Structure 1
Amino acid sequence: MATVTFVDESTAGARTPAWALQIFEERLTLRELIRRRIHQEVAEYNAATPAPRRLLVQPTSTERVLNGGREQGERRRVDAARQVALAEEAFGRNGFVVLVGDRQVEELDEEVDLRRDTEVTFLKLVALVGG
């Protein structure tokens, strides 16, 4: 069993606190790793009051509008499958890169080795001003 630690960073220097997820397999595709991460985050988001701030893919503007006028306990649930699709799309258009340990994973269907203390960094790419 591997303990995978997820870290979100941006090229602007922002870094969120790391959090861990237990994974029983020793190898997974990046696609499956992203899917599991998002399903865990969405489950926590949907169960929490107030909502946690940490999500790889933020709720869509429609979801935010629908949640905005509600009392804390009444916000609409975020759809995990939709969030997975948005994350895959963002990865495909270079919205973020993924580092497993010190190695960049370039394809969603590429398998990654998961060791006891694997760190997975999601690096959000921020567009340069004027470039």
Structure 2
Amino acid sequence: MGSVMFVDETTAGGRSEGWGMEIAEERLALRELIRRRIFQEVAESEAAASRLVRPAQEGGRVDPQAQTRAALAAFGRNGFLVLVGDRQITDLDEQIDLPLGTEVTFLKLVALVGG
């Protein structure tokens, strides 16, 4: 089992400290990596504005499946880029090698409304 470090950045120069997530597989499709990240965020109730998940409205519950659909749609319309190491991933179905300690950067190009 390995660990992936997620880092969020913005085109304005903001950068999160990052947070780790355990990944059992050595390779995953980007689509699955995004899904797991969102489900982890929801499970830990850490849906902050700087993350992919949007906070629930006034005590409501966050639906991780809906959040995943919104994030995948945002990726499809270039709402954010994903960098694994120094390489940009452009296809949601691309298999990504995830050796121990891989840094995955989510670079937000615009505000992720709905995702």
Structure 1 length normalisation: TM-score?
Answer: 0.79
Q: CA deviation at 1:76?
A: 1.5
* 2:41 match: 41
Distance in 2 between the 1:126 and 1:82 partners?
20
The within-5 A match list for 1:27-106 is 27-45=27-45, 53=48, 55-59=51-55, 63-64=56-57, 67=58, 75-106=59-90
Superposed CA deviations along residues 75-104 of structure 1, whole A, max 9, x for unmatched, are 121000000000000000000000011110
Larger helix share, 1 or 2 = 1
Contact 1:97 1:125 in 2 (8 A): yes
Q: For 1:126 and 1:79, locate their aligned partners in 2 and report how far apart those are by CA, in whole Å.
A: 22
- The one-letter code of the counterpart of 2:92 is L
Q: Report how many residues are paired.
A: 110
Cα deviation digits, residues 25-49 of structure 1 (max 9, x gap): 000000000000000001111xxxx
Contact 1:12 / 1:126 at 8 angstroms: preserved in 2? no
Tell me, in whole angstroms, the C-alpha distance in 2 between the residues paired with 1:87 and 1:79.
Answer: 12
Partner deviation per Cα, 1:30-69 (whole Å, 9 max, x = no partner): 0000000000001111xxxxx652531314xxx42xx1xx
Equivalent in 116, 120, 128 of residue 100 of structure 2: 116
Structural mapping, 1:14-29, within 5 Å:
14-29=14-29
Q: Conserved in 1, the CA contact under 8 Å of 2:81 and 2:89?
A: yes
Structure with bigger gyration radius: 1
Note the residue ranges of structure 2 that are not aligned, 5 or more in a row. none
Q: Is the contact made by 2:8 and 2:51 (CA closer than 8 Å) also made in structure 1?
A: no
Deviation above 4 Å: which 4+ runs of structure 1? none
